[in-house]
Amino acid sequence: MQTTARQSRVTHWDLQPTASNLSGNRSVRIAHDVTIQGLLPPTGVQRAQRGLLRALDELAPNHEFVLVSQGTIPIDAELPKTWRRHVIPSRRPGPIWREIHLMRFLVRRGFDLVHSPVSAIPLGGPVPRLATVHEVPWLTGAPRLDRGRRLNHRLALRHAVRHAAGIVTPSRTTAAAIEKRHPGARAPIHVVPHGVDAVFFKPSERPRDALLAEWGLADGPYVLSVGAERPRKNHTLIARALDDSRLGEVRWLAAGAAADSRRAGHERRHGLGPVSDPILRDLYAHATALVFPSFSEGFGLPALEAMAAGCPAIVSNRGALPEVVGDAAQTLEPRDTKALADAVFDLLTRPESLSSRRARGREHARSFTWQRAANAMLDVYRQIAAAS
């Protein structure tokens, strides 16, 4: 039976020439919902939003960007200092706040659009909405979310593709999953890859022994993981791989995980809790490898940050990770314990392999900048503003 190919709604801004500002002389007013910046523990979504906003601040000074939030915006959130901030307080749940209080504020102040860093947006109202969908783990074979979170994510995505003026996603992998799940949705999809903050390209100024001493650890080789302890992060594979007798002296430092080594049931694992970007850069720089065997990632920013800092990345071949790392990192099946142990052992015993991987990773990471992402996002804003 003959079928007709459906035209894709996806624009790949990583392949498009981008402008440095919004076209024309009209000043565009854009509200950014930064409510997530007050949530704990910190997440990659928060870091991605901060990186984008700082780049927008540098590239588009002639347009008005305003930060809005349901709660107090942390002073140390590393957001643009010159942008106006508006807290729109409400004790009502987030969906009601967005639908009533946020939209009322946007209409009264005459905003041209509002950009959400997640898929949750107001469903109605005259101000165009732009939603960011970082990943769709329930569609990609990752371990199941709990029923409540799974339902919330699915409903938010369904509403976004029906009511948003556009969907932004950091990878083609996520864009394809959204388009496959919602083929008839009206919202166009824009692929705008994340960038890597400049701090990760700067050399570490501390030796490894001084760095490890901050956590009371003696000097020695370690692998690094970054992110909260969630089933889809697949930390159990790291624990199993480090049980390999060849890796008996290698420790596991877990940045972003709770500071309690017993939680993962592995005596050589050390949870570091949340760390600042400069400290994370130092951890990358001295690590034997970043181990990132996640079952699903919508982008995988830690892999690029690690490579920028000269740290080889070992990642799974699932989700958007192969797309993001290209041939600059080693990929493996997320259930293959021996493959992970072999990869770490190779880096420990073959200095030439380690040196080559460091150089190739740095070069690859340089192609992902927040300036490029901000330029692409400005073009997305231009399209939405011109159509409204």
Per-residue pLDDT, 372: 95
Per-residue pLDDT, 143: 61
Per-residue pLDDT, 151: 74
Print pLDDT tens along the chain (388 aa): 333 334 567 887 765 555 544 444 567 899 999 999 988 778 889 999 999 999 999 987 778 999 999 988 876 678 998 899 999 988 888 889 999 999 999 999 999 999 999 999 999 999 999 999 999 876 555 565 556 566 778 888 999 999 999 999 999 999 999 999 898 888 999 999 999 999 999 999 999 999 999 999 999 999 999 988 888 899 999 999 999 999 989 999 999 887 765 444 567 899 999 899 999 999 999 999 999 999 999 999 999 999 999 999 999 999 999 999 999 999 999 999 999 999 999 999 998 888 889 999 999 999 999 999 999 999 999 999 988 7
10-195+370-387 is classed CATH 2.60.40.1120: no
Note the helical H segments in the chain. Answer: 44-59, 94-96, 103-109, 147-163, 172-181, 208-213, 235-241, 277-286, 301-308, 321-325, 337-349, 351-365, 370-387
| DSSP percent split of the chain into helix, strand, coil, nearest 5 | 40, 15, 45
198-365 is classed CATH 3.40.50.1980: no
Q: Where in the chain is the domain with CATH 3.40.50.2000?
A: 10-195+370-387, 198-365
Residues 42, 21: contact at Cβ < 8 Å?
Answer: no
Question: Closest by alpha carbon to 322, among 332, 312, 336?
Answer: 332
Per-residue pLDDT, 355: 86
Distance CA 359, CA 370 (A): 21
Per-residue pLDDT, 224: 98
User: SS3 for 209?
Assistant: helix
Residues 360, 84: contact at Cβ < 8 Å?
Answer: no
Give this prediction's pTM.
Answer: 0.90
Kindly give the interhelix angle for 147-163 and 172-181, rounded to the nearest 10 degrees. 90
For the chain, the distance separating the N- and C-terminal CA atoms, rounded to the nearest angstrom, is 41
Distance CA 84, CA 131 (A): 21
User: SS3 for 7?
Assistant: coil
User: SS3 for 158?
Assistant: helix
Per-residue pLDDT, 3: 36
User: SS3 for 230?
Assistant: coil
Per-residue pLDDT, 362: 96
Per-residue pLDDT, 230: 85
